[in-house]
Amino acid sequence: MLKFQIMIAGFVDLPMKALEKLKASFFSHLPYAALMAVVHAVVYRDYWTGHKIIGSRDFLFLEVPTANFNADCLASGSYPLWNPFINFGFPWVEHYLNTSFSLTHLFAAFISGSNLEIVQRELFFWIFLGGAGIYLCLHELGKSKVSAMIAGICFMFSGQIFMLPSENYMIYNACAFPFIIYGYLRARNSGGALSLVSIFFMTQFLLAGYIATAVLGCYLLIFYVLFDSLLEKKIISGLKFLALTFIISLLLSAPKLLPLYMGMKATARLSGDYGSVADPFNLLSLYDLQSLLIPVKYFFSVYAGIPCVAGLAYCIVKKRLRPDPLLILAVLSGWLLITDEFGNLSWLRQVSYNLPFARLVRVEWLHWYYPTIFAILYCCQFLDDIFSEADIKVRIAAALGSVVVVSGFFLWQYDTNLHLIAYLTSVSMLVLWFVLPHFLKFERHPAVFALAAALLLSIEFGAFIERVDINEPPRRDERYIEIRTTDQWGASHSFRDDNRVSKMKYIVYLRDGTRPSIDESRKWPYLISAQESQWQENLLVDLVNQKRFAGWWNNAMVSFEFGRMYGAELDALDRSPLYALIDRAAASPNKTVSLDNVSCSGFTFSTESDADGALLLNQMWDRRWRAYIDGAETPVERANTHFMGVDVPGGRHTVRFAFRDNIFYLSLCISFLTLAALVLLMLLRKRSFYFTRGPVV
């Protein structure tokens, strides 16, 4: 009886102790998290308030419309399986931009219905979250909270991260990746192999992120864990971590990955034949890497903050540049993505094409946040040493060395008149980072130094973003919002001119709460090819937001079948009906057809005719469509080469087309069963812990 009472006491006491420990840990990090949040809110204030809207074409034509479509489908009580408003119908369940399972997208959809400004705030929330992940990584590496905070802020305002919200869903990959690394570091330091943090963020990394970017991130994670576990002599633990993290995350992400995999061969972008091409405007060369030192560019900025330059300079002066997994991955990932001045890929990049799915990785210049993450974590490891360095000669040598390097590149490559202020700001910041710790006594007054560091970083990155930001305040009225937009290829590529942007124009966007519902599309059941209006942004945005049945979409995710329609055949369909009831007889009997319902997974019609006929639906034919007449299934035939039709007998009938993807339903089962098994495992492990670790008499 006494043993049982003691075990029960242990069962109750241990979770309370764990909760107290978690509470104490949370409050110890809270001041630094609050400082990061304040800096984030101050520097990005225009985007949080909606005073500025991201003006890139990808954000306005891809991110916002897809988020709105997902939200509108959920609002109508259905999951987005098929998008009837692009490419004359497309299996949305296998679209590489489908983020319907992203937790933050679901939250935005259910709370607000999603809209332009909500989507923008969601992206900037992820930026803060990514900074918190960097903070946790550096703290787990044994560094001070002040240095961890500085590293997190450097990540939040680095040039790549500031630019990424303009370039569709890669922001989720960039900001989830630090947490995956953090989960590994936690598992390594605790001697375990299972990390729920890594599994959770890897799942979001796959569900919400750009899938080609996820492929690259997975390979970089594998190499990092292998290098680190080898150096730590824990290779078995590292392999176990990789196996558990990938297997569980892939199973949890099955609702996106399985349909996508099944549809890869049907689309140009994901078929494996797309690959990368030599393109000096879309790839990052050694010339562009110089923006790491002086922040003067918008398009190709890999600027990561003066503390990173200072940390690396100190590391070299102190001769601490030794093999380190973070340094190795920073160099390897940079080598993988670097090109020459003509845009030719590196040797390592070409070799990587032999890895599974590696050819999916494209637009290499957008993936430079991977080297940035590893570089920030590596360089900021030395900040504690800089702050506590007692030898003034070492401080001066490191400061002078970094200033000489920055000055050399400035005089060699930059327009010295145009970028003089940016250069002087960088040099001043470098000197301050080496001088301030001596006067503020970092070891005696870490709180004061943290405040000073946050202020210094706010000034540095605020000035950087103010200089390179090309977005402008929108113009609003009761229903519409006008945004000045640009193609992402319209920004300057040179260090020898200003950040001029070409091809900017205003487009009109629907304001919050004014988008029509999916069901309202019944009011305008006509096809619009938009073939002659590819560069008329107002028309394209209007088609998507008004949910018109369109035959053109501003991305490369079109099926090979749809691609064959481009040209005269597509033009001929412009303004034609979405559906028609066609006579079988030579005469013209009385016939009527009405569209009663449209959703992301089906169409319902009412037909009436005094003779047999055929109902034509101008949506792209797909083997997963089923048709039912008065509830009884009937074959779906190809019609007019590309579309669908069913034979309908005379009389009054209800005809329903339903999209049924068995792979998707199977993947849902896999995901939910994996989640249930994971939860059960955690419960059993906790129960075992409570009953075996408690005090026993």
Say how many residues make up the chain.
697
Mean pLDDT, residues 297-312 taken together: 88
> Which segments within 599-635 are labelled E, that is strand?
602-609, 613-617, 625-629, 632-634
pLDDT-derived band at 406 (thresholds 50, 70, 90) equals: very high
The residue with greater pLDDT, 505 or 533, is 505
pLDDT-derived band at 309 (thresholds 50, 70, 90) equals: very high
Mean pLDDT, residues 278-297 taken together: 79
Q: What is the pLDDT of residues 164-222, one digit of tens each?
A: 888 778 899 999 999 999 999 999 999 889 999 999 999 999 999 888 899 999 999 99
Q: What is the pLDDT of residues 412-435, one digit of tens each?
A: 989 999 899 999 999 999 999 988
What pLDDT score does 185 carry? Answer: 96
The residue with greater pLDDT, 252 or 540, is 252
Mean pLDDT, residues 254-267 taken together: 87
What pLDDT score does 505 carry? Answer: 81
Res 468 pLDDT > 90: no
Mean pLDDT, residues 91-112 taken together: 83
Domains parsed from the chain with CATH numbers: 32-72+100-468 (no CATH), 579-660 (2.60.420)
CA distance 27 to 45: 26
| Average pLDDT of every residue of the chain | 85
CA–CA–CA angle 69, 664, 91 (5° rounding): 45
Mean pLDDT, residues 380-409 taken together: 90
Q: What is the pLDDT of residues 634-648, one digit of tens each?
A: 999 998 888 999 999
Q: Is the CA virtual torsion 28, 31, 34, 40 positive or negative?
A: negative
Out of 231-240, 263-272, 571-580, pick the least confident: 263-272
- Residue 663: how many CB atoms within 10 A of its CB? 18
CA–CA–CA angle 511, 516, 521 (5° rounding): 145
**In contact, 209 and 200? CB cutoff 8 Å:** no
Nearest CA among 50, 47, 57 for reference residue 485? 57
Q: What is the pLDDT of residues 128-154, one digit of tens each?
A: 999 999 999 999 999 999 999 999 999
Helix/strand/coil for 634: strand
DSSP code at position 507: E
What pLDDT score does 553 carry? Answer: 66
Q: Which two tokens stand for residue 253?
A: 């992400």
pLDDT-derived band at 690 (thresholds 50, 70, 90) equals: very low
Is 412 exposed, middle or buried (CB count within 10 Å of its CB: 0-12, 13-18, 19+)?
exposed
**In contact, 384 and 147? CB cutoff 8 Å:** yes
Res 394 pLDDT > 80: yes
Nearest CA among 621, 613, 547 for reference residue 580? 613
Res 554 pLDDT > 70: no
Going from the C-alpha of 64 to that of each of 105, 123, 550, the distances in angstroms are 11, 11, 17
Q: What is the pLDDT of residues 329-386, one digit of tens each?
A: 999 999 999 988 777 888 998 899 889 988 888 777 889 999 999 999 999 999 999 9
pLDDT-derived band at 689 (thresholds 50, 70, 90) equals: very low
Q: Which two tokens stand for residue 523?
A: 């009011």
Q: What is the pLDDT of residues 599-622, one digit of tens each?
A: 999 999 999 988 888 999 999 999
**In contact, 555 and 536? CB cutoff 8 Å:** no
pLDDT-derived band at 21 (thresholds 50, 70, 90) equals: low
What pLDDT score does 555 carry? Answer: 58
Share of the chain above pLDDT 70, in %: 89
**In contact, 161 and 387? CB cutoff 8 Å:** no
- Residue 463: how many CB atoms within 10 A of its CB? 16
What pLDDT score does 692 carry? Answer: 41
pLDDT-derived band at 12 (thresholds 50, 70, 90) equals: very low
pLDDT-derived band at 263 (thresholds 50, 70, 90) equals: confident
CA distance 385 to 622: 62
The residue assigned the tokens 């005379």 is 650
Helix/strand/coil for 286: coil
Give 424's contacts (C-beta < 8 A, 6+ positions apart).
none
What pLDDT score does 534 carry? Answer: 47
The amino acid that residue 643 corresponds to is: F
pLDDT-derived band at 530 (thresholds 50, 70, 90) equals: low
φ/ψ (deg, to 5) at 550: -105, 150
Out of 39-43, 440-444, 587-591, pick the least confident: 587-591
What pLDDT score does 43 carry? Answer: 96
What pLDDT score does 446 carry? Answer: 80
Mean pLDDT, residues 66-92 taken together: 86
What pLDDT score does 14 carry? Answer: 46
pLDDT-derived band at 472 (thresholds 50, 70, 90) equals: confident
Q: Which two tokens stand for residue 493?
A: 């590529």
